[in-house]
Amino acid sequence: EEYEASVTSPVNIAVIKYWGKRDSDLILPTNSSLSCTLSQDDLHTKTTIRASRLFEADRLWLNGVEEQVATSKRLSNCIAQARAFRKELETNSQVVETIATKERPLSEWKLHIISENNFPTAAGLASSASGYAALVQALANLFELTLDQTELSKISRLGSGSACRSMFGGFVEWRGGESPSGEDSYAYCVAPQSHWPSMHALVLVVSDDKKGTSSTSGMSTTVNTSTLFAERVKSIVPKRLQKIKEAILSHDFSTFAEITMQDSNQFHAVCMDTYPPIFYMNNTSKAIVHLVHLFNSQLHPETNAPKGIRAAYTFDAGPNAVIYAEEQHIKELVQLISYFFPPAKAQSFRAYFPDAYKIF
């Protein structure tokens, strides 16, 4: 007797960065953050979970390699939390009759979990976000949990902070919250993808090497050593969040882009202000920054009028760039990027385009 659930979950790329925890067990952040969820057609994690009476232990294979579930607190926390909700369903007599959970005490059975990313793991491409989102969504489906996406986002948050935002499509905020229990720290959808369908993301894979400093350890050193960080959390992020949400709701691309670029730059400045400093961007990343500013300062050849801000870069804990732009500018951007970074000249540079630029 076996039951199985299979899901795919998308990657999300923050425009207001999450960096810093106030509780590292419950994964509660020092600030709220906001991201766009990318289309799952391009980058995703696929996770299949099987429950059986015959399994002897919970086991998980990530990209074909077994991970130790018992020693990973994050994995065990997510599984334990989902199991606890399943147990509640099984013991709640009102529900038991309707879903026949009595004969299926799934909360007591062990699980085998198979998870695959279709993109490089730990290259600053938020693999933990889609990974834990897929794990929690698959558990919820398998266990037939009666929780909404916001409640599920609290479970995936226990796996990796940014994962809570991958429980939704479109423009998503993770409300940092204040409660020590984490009850008010969850994700919700600010606007669905359909609100701004012309918004696209270009993923430029500068390097798919494993990054040097993990987000988890990097942000912990930042919290302990950076003096710029406190200022960012207290007075900068709240204003930016408010402004970027307004920009999203009113389709104001240039405000959206300016805040996105400034927040990425400040995140990397805070990394450099960390002691010892952390560097995530490399020379190719920096060249991309210059290229985007060049693109944004172009003048119209006939009228000499500025063409305006038409693209925004953002970088996470690695050298890869994500460029947000509206669909009508993507072709020109791709041409420009291919001109400056032809694959033959920059071997390390590979871009997932032209098809990987939709946001979900």
Closer CB to ligand DP6, residue 8 or residue 216? 216
- 299 DSSP assignment: B
Q: What is the identity of the amino acid at 77?
A: N
When binding is defined by CB under 6 A, the residue of 215, 222, 296, 314 that contacts ligand DP6 is 215
x/- letters, 162..191, toward ligand DP6 (CB under 6 A): x-----------------------------
DSSP for 337-359 reads HHHHS-TTT-TT-EEETTTS-BB
Q: How far is the CB of 341 from ligand DP6 (least distance, A)?
A: 23
Q: How far is the CB of 315 from ligand DP6 (least distance, A)?
A: 8
When binding is defined by CB under 6 A, the residue of 161, 169, 170, 176 that contacts ligand DP6 is 161
State both tokens at 257: 């882009």
Number of residues that bind ligand DP6 (CB under 6 A): 15
Q: How far is the CB of 93 from ligand DP6 (least distance, A)?
A: 38
| Alpha helices for the chain (secondary structure H) | 73-91, 93-99, 127-142, 149-157, 215-225, 227-231, 237-249, 253-272, 283-296, 327-340
Q: How far is the CB of 14 from ligand DP6 (least distance, A)?
A: 3
Binding flag, residue 338, ligand DP6 (CB under 6 A) = no
State both tokens at 81: 């939390």
Binding flag, residue 130, ligand DP6 (CB under 6 A) = no
CB proximity list for 31: less than 8 A, separation 6 or greater: 18, 19, 20, 176, 232, 233, 237, 238
State both tokens at 7: 């899901």
Binding flag, residue 17, ligand DP6 (CB under 6 A) = yes
x/- letters, 49..88, toward ligand DP6 (CB under 6 A): ----------------------------------------
